[in-house]
Amino acid sequence: MGEEAPEYLLGKSEIFTIFGHDQQQQGYQTATAIGTKIYAVGGSGGASGFSTEVKVFDKLTDTWADPVVFGTKPVSSKGHSAILLENGRILILQRESSPDNSIWILEVDTPFVRQKKKLLGREVVTWSKCLLGNGPKPVVISGPSGVGKGTLILKLMKECPSAFGFSVSHTTRAPREKEENGIHYHFTERSRMEKDIRDGKFLEFALVHGNLYGTSIEAVEAVSDVGKRCILDIDVQGARSVRASSLEATFIFVCPPSFEELEKRLRARGTESEEQIQKRLRNAKTELEHGKSSGLFDHILVNDDLDSCYRKLKELLALDDNTNISPQSFMQNFILPISHSISKLGNKIMIQCGSNELGGSSPRMVVLDVSSLKGGAPSRTRGLSVYATES
């Protein structure tokens, strides 16, 4: 059952940001209208200030709905401002928040949100943290079972632990000896995983060798959040789903030097029953066909000699590393002051900060350039440029 809309929200067709007493009682701080919907954001976060709960008002039916919310949401702050962007996105700027919690995108009508709405038959919104510059692009590594993906990834993690982070998948298969829950996989009951898939918590999932495997949105975000480049070890079906998602990644397919060598490695690993080995070898034939010929992968590596394959992998990763465009050092320390005003001109958002708020003597203008935003739910939004000017 929907609630009646507060009067101040009705009849407005553009962005409106409200910082008044009334609306604080309602718990909202901003309301942004897109088409026939109004997205109200706010809520009491207790002693820590305002939270960022979302409510959706449908002007056609005069009702409020609590949407299903995906993504990690911002932590409470001293309030926020909302700016309508193009393509069903709202930029949320958190006031007096840590730089890490200050710039967010609330997606309300993007392809990801539309897909989830269709799946769930309900209102859906998604939070996506906005990153300055391009940020590291995730890497998807696929290849038949036993080819050496895990071995290559482990070497990379050991050599560069601060640059790369592993996306810990969920699986319904039983743990092997020495495999730890939460490190190698999140070992999960099938019914639990199926529910989480229905609830839209997975970026991709697939039935692989008779078990369910999947990458949760949280697994990828946990790596991006600590500024590392996320490595996904997933099968070809999963790679195809990721390619179809908005997660912009580099796709690498690892091949064995021969089918005989693949079988030898799988047997020598000694982790599978004969029945499982046969199943994995059968599936390997299809994976090799698809992997090599589908055009899905950006790079193909042959894992013959381990050291030389590892060297080539590192070369590939260095070549398409887009992180050398470092975020503007000024913004790394930027805190949106309580007192500010915002205006938007095309793809530029001008934030006029109150006198002395940024530590200087004169008011200062901060400009956010949203013209090169990319990515977004189910992961981070990258490509924000920021610069400051004296006004």
Ligand X SMILES: Nc1ncnc2c1ncn2[C@@H]1O[C@H](COP(=O)(O)OP(=O)(O)OP(=O)(O)O)[C@@H](O)[C@H]1O
Ligand Y SMILES: Nc1nc2c(ncn2[C@@H]2O[C@H](COP(=O)(O)O)[C@@H](O)[C@H]2O)c(=O)[nH]1
Binding site for ligand X (CB under 6 A): 143, 145-151, 265, 268-269, 303, 306, 309
Instruction: Tell me how far, at minimum, the Cβ of 215 lies from ligand Y, in Å.
Output: 4
Q: What tokens appear for 144 in the block?
A: 């038949």
Q: Among 382, 250, 255, which Cα is nearest to 316's?
A: 250
Report the DSSP beta bridge partners of residue 68: 124
Q: Could you give the string, one character per residue 104-123, with x where binding to ligand Y holds by CB under 6 A and - elsewhere?
A: --------------------
Residue 256 binds ligand Y, judged by CB under 6 A = no
Rounded Cα distance between 14 and 12, Å, is: 6
Question: Closest CB to ligand X among 78 and 269?
Answer: 269
Options 193, 208, 217, 366; binder of ligand Y; rule CB under 6 A:
208
Rounded Cα distance between 271 and 103, Å, is: 46
Q: What tokens appear for 17 in the block?
A: 């940001």
Q: Among 364, 361, 360, which Cα is nearest to 351's?
A: 364
What is the CA angle 246-371-338, rounded to 5?
Answer: 100
- Could you confirm whether 364 is annotated as catalytic? no
Which of 122, 176, 192, 198 is labelled catalytic? 176
Options 39, 45, 233, 245; binder of ligand Y; rule CB under 6 A:
233
Residue 214 binds ligand Y, judged by CB under 6 A = yes
The answer to whether the beta carbons of residues 256 and 191 sit under 8 Å apart is: no
Stretch that binds ligand Y, among 188-196, 234-242, 332-340, 381-389 (CB under 6 A): 234-242
Which of ligand X, ligand Y, none sits in contact with 206, Cβ below 5 to 8 A by type?
A: ligand Y
Instruction: Tell me how far, at minimum, the Cβ of 235 lies from ligand X, in Å.
Output: 8
Options 135, 238, 375, 378; binder of ligand Y; rule CB under 6 A:
238
- Could you confirm whether 95 is annotated as catalytic? no
DSSP β-ladder status, 374-375 and 381-390: antiparallel
The answer to whether the beta carbons of residues 288 and 144 sit under 8 Å apart is: yes
Which residues, in sequence order, are CB contacts of 282 under 8 Å at separation 6+?
none
Q: Among 168, 169, 181, 229, which Cα is nearest to 205's?
A: 169
Residue whose token pair is 């970026």? 203
Which of 89, 280, 364, 380 is labelled catalytic? 280
Residue 250 binds ligand Y, judged by CB under 6 A = no
Residue 235 binds ligand Y, judged by CB under 6 A = yes
Q: What does the binding site for ligand Y look like in residue numbers (CB under 6 A)? A: 145, 149, 169, 173, 204, 206, 208-209, 213-215, 233-235, 237-238
Catalytic residues: 176, 269, 280
